[in-house]
């Protein structure tokens, strides 16, 4: 995945396996902060997470037109902040990437999936709060 250095603006390629830790900028050598926000995932990044992530991942399947999805967004962001360094949080736009939604039989959104070592540990449709998301990730070993 690509992370932008807050010190110099350089874009740095960071392997998913190291996404929950700190890394150094290739240009200025400043430390990149621990990832504490949801990652917009396309199929390539999603598959990289499935294959290489060493921590559980929460996936939020959403769409721009979905009111409950918009209400869930701050909760998803808060979960990503609370679980920084211990889990990954992905957002998959079902309009842009319907093949990912179909892969997990997502028929209503928002829909949340927790993945560990590439396998589904939990899946639930409907609006939930940050506390529930954090509990799912904790139960999955975060």
- Catalytic positions, written as ranges: 66, 69
How far apart CA 64 and CA 18 sit, in angstroms, is 30
Say whether 118 sits in a helix, a strand or coil: coil
Distances (CA, A) of 60 to 39, 69, 101, 129: 10, 9, 10, 12
Distances (CA, A) of 69 to 6, 27, 60, 61, 110: 29, 37, 9, 8, 5
How far apart CA 19 and CA 130 sit, in angstroms, is 21
């Amino acid at each position: 995945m690509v992370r932008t250095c807050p010190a110099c603006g350089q874009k740095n390629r960071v392997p998913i396996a190291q996404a929950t830790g700190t890394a150094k900028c290739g240009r200025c050598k400043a430390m990149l902060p621990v990832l504490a926000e949801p990652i917009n995932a396309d199929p390539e990044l999603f598959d990289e997470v499935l294959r290489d992530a060493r921590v559980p991942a929460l996936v939020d399947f959403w769409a721009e037109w979905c009111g409950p999805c918009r209400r869930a967004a701050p909760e998803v962001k808060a979960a990503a902040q609370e679980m920084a360094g211990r889990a990954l949080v992905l957002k998959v736009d079902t309009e842009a990437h319907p093949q990912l939604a179909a892969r997990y039989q997502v028929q209503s959104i928002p829909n949340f999936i927790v993945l560990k070592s590439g396998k589904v540990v939990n899946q639930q449709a409907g609006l939930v709060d940050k506390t529930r998301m954090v509990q799912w990730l904790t139960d999955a070993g975060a």
